[in-house]
Amino acid sequence: MKIIEVLLITITLSISYIITADYSILYRLSRVTVVNIGLANIILSILGMSFIIYRYYKATEKLNEELRKISEIDGLTGAYNRMFFDQSLKDLVEDILEENKSSSKINFEIAIIDIDDFKRINDIYGHIVGDSVLKKVVEIMKESTSSKDLVCRYGGEEFAILFFKSSRRRVLKAIRDIRVGIEDYEFDFNDKSIKGHVTVSIGLAGFEDFYNNDPLTILNLADQRLYQAKNKGKNKVVSS
């Protein structure tokens, strides 16, 4: 594409030079012919510049999209990052409080999910295996949730899911599918075909647990319930 741009510019400048040169053969042509050549030169110049502007517009658009992804997406797992999750939750709560002060008709849930004994996987099998586990866990989460739900990598091996306008029944089913799906999946732990299983502990909180107009109260409660699940033996869901 850069070569095409240079050729268009070269052709345009060459035609301009031919037209303006005193010895140019164009001065022996009819006035109509010269005018037509001039018009063709103008059209070619406009098309060339339009093409170049369009190319740089598309390049800028692509760069902006890549920057947006960098600012929103976790590079390893493809889940949303914590900054985007926190901002989305803040915006959601603000919208809810502006539209309706009553929480009776509001239904969103937050799940905090932590991979049990993940450090042990990294220590025994290495970080490459650990990374593959993180990627697969996110894949299972996305398969078990809807496109409107927000799956986020919240920390190293900790994830958060924001369920939008979902009934408690659907959320509990999704959470169960995630827990069971991860527990049942056989992970490859090294090149010698050693396979193993991974479990997760999950804490769940909803808008009914929200108070003081502070979204952190929901997150903190979900986090507390996560540690309750850990203390109860791991591979569990605590939702109340």
Closest to 85 measured CA to CA, from 219, 179, 236: 219
Helices (H), the chain: 2-20, 31-72, 82-99, 118-125, 127-144, 168-184, 216-231
Give the CA radius of gyration of the chain. Answer: 30
Which amino acid is located at 112 in the chain?
A: I
Cα–Cα distance for residue pair 122/148, rounded to 1 Å? 32
Is 208 one of the catalytic residues? no
> DSSP 3-state assignment of 166?
coil
Q: Which residues of 1-11 are buried (b: 16+ CB within 10 A; e: fewer)?
A: eeeeeeebeee
Question: What backbone torsions phi and psi does residue 9 show, to the nearest 5 degrees?
Answer: -65, -40
- Which of 5, 157, 158, 208 does the annotation list as catalytic? 157
Contact 138, 151 (CB under 8 A): yes
Joined together, the tokens standing for residue 141 give 């989460």
Q: Which residues are catalytic?
A: 157
